[in-house]
Amino acid sequence: MKAHILFVCLGNICRSPMAEAVMRHQVEQAHLADRIEVDSAGTGDWHLGHPPHEGTRKLLDQHQISHQGMKARLVAESDFESFDYIVCLDTKNLRDVRELLEKAGIEESGAKLFTFMELLPDRGIADVPDPYYDGNFPFVFELVDSGCKELLKRIQADMKFV
Protein backbone atom coordinates (compact mmCIF):
# COMPACT_ATOMS: atom_id res chain seq x y z
CA MET A 1 0.00 0.00 0.00
CA LYS A 2 1.17 3.50 -0.86
CA ALA A 3 0.45 6.75 0.99
CA HIS A 4 -0.35 9.83 -1.10
CA ILE A 5 0.12 13.27 0.42
CA LEU A 6 -1.20 16.55 -0.99
CA PHE A 7 -0.13 19.91 0.47
CA VAL A 8 -2.50 22.79 -0.22
CA CYS A 9 -1.96 26.55 0.04
CA LEU A 10 -3.39 29.58 -1.74
CA GLY A 11 -1.12 30.23 -4.72
CA ASN A 12 0.81 26.92 -4.86
CA ILE A 13 4.01 28.88 -5.42
CA CYS A 14 5.38 29.57 -1.89
CA ARG A 15 4.36 27.31 1.01
CA SER A 16 2.85 24.13 -0.45
CA PRO A 17 5.59 23.58 -3.07
CA MET A 18 8.15 24.10 -0.30
CA ALA A 19 6.36 21.45 1.79
CA GLU A 20 6.12 19.14 -1.24
CA ALA A 21 9.85 19.40 -2.02
CA VAL A 22 10.95 19.06 1.62
CA MET A 23 8.63 16.12 2.26
CA ARG A 24 9.78 14.32 -0.89
CA HIS A 25 13.37 14.90 0.15
CA GLN A 26 12.74 13.46 3.64
CA VAL A 27 10.89 10.50 2.15
CA GLU A 28 13.85 9.81 -0.14
CA GLN A 29 16.30 10.11 2.74
CA ALA A 30 14.20 7.56 4.65
CA HIS A 31 14.26 5.21 1.61
CA LEU A 32 10.48 5.31 1.41
CA ALA A 33 10.04 6.78 -2.07
CA ASP A 34 8.33 3.60 -3.24
CA ARG A 35 5.80 3.86 -0.36
CA ILE A 36 4.97 7.58 -0.17
CA GLU A 37 4.07 10.01 -2.96
CA VAL A 38 3.90 13.76 -2.54
CA ASP A 39 2.20 16.56 -4.49
CA SER A 40 0.89 20.08 -3.90
CA ALA A 41 -1.87 22.34 -5.21
CA GLY A 42 -3.46 25.74 -4.64
CA THR A 43 -6.97 27.07 -4.12
CA GLY A 44 -6.27 30.21 -6.22
CA ASP A 45 -5.55 30.29 -9.94
CA TRP A 46 -3.24 33.31 -10.36
CA HIS A 47 -0.04 31.35 -10.90
CA LEU A 48 -1.12 28.20 -12.72
CA GLY A 49 1.81 26.55 -14.51
CA HIS A 50 4.37 28.75 -12.75
CA PRO A 51 7.41 27.33 -10.96
CA PRO A 52 7.79 27.94 -7.20
CA HIS A 53 8.40 31.55 -6.06
CA GLU A 54 12.06 32.59 -6.12
CA GLY A 55 12.04 32.85 -2.30
CA THR A 56 10.99 29.19 -2.05
CA ARG A 57 13.50 28.15 -4.72
CA LYS A 58 16.30 30.00 -2.91
CA LEU A 59 15.62 28.19 0.39
CA LEU A 60 15.35 24.81 -1.34
CA ASP A 61 18.60 25.47 -3.23
CA GLN A 62 20.35 26.43 0.02
CA HIS A 63 19.35 23.05 1.45
CA GLN A 64 20.11 21.17 -1.78
CA ILE A 65 16.52 20.08 -2.18
CA SER A 66 15.23 19.68 -5.74
CA HIS A 67 12.31 21.72 -7.09
CA GLN A 68 12.88 20.65 -10.67
CA GLY A 69 9.79 20.53 -12.87
CA MET A 70 7.40 21.75 -10.20
CA LYS A 71 4.47 23.78 -11.54
CA ALA A 72 1.51 25.39 -9.77
CA ARG A 73 -1.88 23.74 -10.21
CA LEU A 74 -5.34 24.03 -8.71
CA VAL A 75 -6.87 21.57 -6.25
CA ALA A 76 -9.15 19.25 -8.25
CA GLU A 77 -12.22 17.24 -7.26
CA SER A 78 -10.32 14.07 -8.18
CA ASP A 79 -7.70 14.89 -5.51
CA PHE A 80 -10.22 13.89 -2.85
CA GLU A 81 -10.11 10.34 -4.20
CA SER A 82 -6.41 10.19 -5.04
CA PHE A 83 -4.88 11.43 -1.78
CA ASP A 84 -4.79 9.90 1.70
CA TYR A 85 -3.49 13.03 3.49
CA ILE A 86 -4.54 16.52 2.47
CA VAL A 87 -2.53 18.98 4.54
CA CYS A 88 -3.56 22.63 4.35
CA LEU A 89 -0.92 25.24 5.10
CA ASP A 90 -3.40 27.55 6.83
CA THR A 91 -6.90 27.52 8.27
CA LYS A 92 -8.34 29.52 5.37
CA ASN A 93 -7.01 26.91 2.94
CA LEU A 94 -8.71 24.24 5.07
CA ARG A 95 -12.04 26.12 4.94
CA ASP A 96 -11.70 26.53 1.16
CA VAL A 97 -10.94 22.83 0.67
CA ARG A 98 -13.95 21.89 2.84
CA GLU A 99 -16.08 24.20 0.69
CA LEU A 100 -14.82 22.46 -2.46
CA LEU A 101 -15.73 19.09 -0.94
CA GLU A 102 -19.21 20.39 -0.16
CA LYS A 103 -19.68 21.85 -3.66
CA ALA A 104 -18.57 18.53 -5.17
CA GLY A 105 -21.20 16.80 -3.03
CA ILE A 106 -18.57 14.61 -1.39
CA GLU A 107 -19.70 13.76 2.13
CA GLU A 108 -17.05 11.20 2.94
CA SER A 109 -13.61 11.66 1.44
CA GLY A 110 -11.19 8.90 2.37
CA ALA A 111 -8.52 11.55 2.87
CA LYS A 112 -7.37 12.76 6.28
CA LEU A 113 -7.81 16.53 6.06
CA PHE A 114 -6.00 18.81 8.52
CA THR A 115 -3.81 21.91 8.84
CA PHE A 116 -0.03 21.76 8.73
CA MET A 117 0.33 23.41 12.14
CA GLU A 118 -1.66 20.56 13.73
CA LEU A 119 1.62 18.65 13.24
CA LEU A 120 3.42 21.17 15.48
CA PRO A 121 0.99 21.87 18.34
CA ASP A 122 3.74 23.17 20.67
CA ARG A 123 4.34 26.17 18.39
CA GLY A 124 0.98 27.63 19.36
CA ILE A 125 0.22 29.05 15.92
CA ALA A 126 -2.65 28.04 13.68
CA ASP A 127 -1.26 28.97 10.26
CA VAL A 128 2.01 28.71 8.38
CA PRO A 129 2.43 32.45 7.67
CA ASP A 130 2.32 33.39 4.00
CA PRO A 131 5.80 34.54 2.88
CA TYR A 132 4.27 35.96 -0.31
CA TYR A 133 3.26 38.90 1.87
CA ASP A 134 5.97 39.10 4.55
CA GLY A 135 8.98 37.63 2.70
CA ASN A 136 9.95 35.42 5.66
CA PHE A 137 10.80 32.30 3.68
CA PRO A 138 13.45 31.06 6.19
CA PHE A 139 10.84 30.89 8.98
CA VAL A 140 8.47 28.97 6.69
CA PHE A 141 11.28 26.58 5.77
CA GLU A 142 12.00 25.89 9.45
CA LEU A 143 8.31 25.18 10.17
CA VAL A 144 7.91 23.07 7.04
CA ASP A 145 11.03 21.02 7.76
CA SER A 146 9.92 20.30 11.37
CA GLY A 147 6.30 19.59 10.40
CA CYS A 148 7.25 17.22 7.57
CA LYS A 149 9.32 15.17 10.02
CA GLU A 150 6.23 14.82 12.22
CA LEU A 151 4.07 13.94 9.23
CA LEU A 152 6.53 11.26 8.16
CA LYS A 153 6.40 9.73 11.66
CA ARG A 154 2.59 9.84 11.61
CA ILE A 155 2.38 8.16 8.21
CA GLN A 156 4.90 5.51 9.21
CA ALA A 157 2.80 4.76 12.28
CA ASP A 158 -0.44 4.71 10.21
CA MET A 159 1.12 2.38 7.68
CA LYS A 160 2.82 0.35 10.38
CA PHE A 161 6.10 0.18 8.54
CA VAL A 162 8.21 1.22 11.50
E-state strands within the chain: 3-9, 36-42, 85-88, 112-115
Among 15, 24, 57, 67, binds ligand 4NP (CB under 6 A): 15
Q: Is 130 noted as a catalytic residue in this protein? A: yes
Q: Choosing from 14, 15, 24, 148, which is the catalytic residue?
A: 15
144, 128 contact by CB (below 8 A): yes
CA distance 137 to 142: 9
132 binds ligand 4NP (CB under 6 A): yes
- Which of 25, 74, 9, 80 lies closest to 45 in space, CA to CA? 74
Which residues in 18-77 contact ligand 4NP (CB under 6 A)? Answer: 46-47
Residue 98 annotated in active site? no
147 forms part of the interface with ligand 4NP (CB under 6 A): no
88 binds ligand 4NP (CB under 6 A): no
Catalytically active residues are 9, 15, 130
